[in-house]
Amino acid sequence: MNINYVFHTHFGYAALLYSTTPFYITEIILPHPDKNDIIKNTTGKPAEKNVSHPQALLVIKSIQDYFLGKKEFFSPVFFEWMNFGNITPLEKKVLQATALIPYGQTASYSDIARAVGRQKACRFVGNTLAKNPFPVIIPCHRVIKSDGSYGGFGGGKDLKIKMLALEQRQSSSSLLVSE
């Protein structure tokens, strides 16, 4: 059964779309200030008011923590829970390479293209990331243009800038604490 659960984050309302048997994440919808817009973009049966599925709760809590500014490292098991159904093997390589970008850092579309062995496939990388069904966990917001400009983002350029700034603040404060 496909379930969608809309939840609040520090950046607005987001949604987790998942199946229960077996548990698979099918999509994550990025935060938006209007809850009704999020609801319109979800498919499947709305979850009950209180989600009781343990894996769904873990994913939701991790996403909420990320948007609170907690330096979040998503559990490797999350990748086992992702439904890559209609994603080609090359697209999956792009998503896997993107998932390796460390918190607080960025990589260019050409860096990702090189990482998957397709040096000239920058546009392919951009198109793949535009369809990323698992934003935040697969941090496509950390991919920028070679010239340092932001490039596109499914949640909009403003959200991308806010997410990168959040990570920069957390990374900077971590450096100050460790000195």
Beta pairing partners, 32: 13
Determine which one of 60, 107, 121, 140 is catalytic: 140
Beta pairing partners, 14: 7
Q: What gap in Å lies between CA 15 and CA 7, rounded to an integer?
A: 6
Asked if 140 is an active-site residue, the reply is yes
Give burial (CB, 10 Å; 0-12/13-18/19+) of 17: buried
Q: What gap in Å lies between CA 24 and CA 18, rounded to an integer?
A: 5
Look at residues 155, 124, 123 and name the one whose alpha carbon lies nearest to residue 139: 155
Question: So which residues are the catalytic ones?
Answer: 140
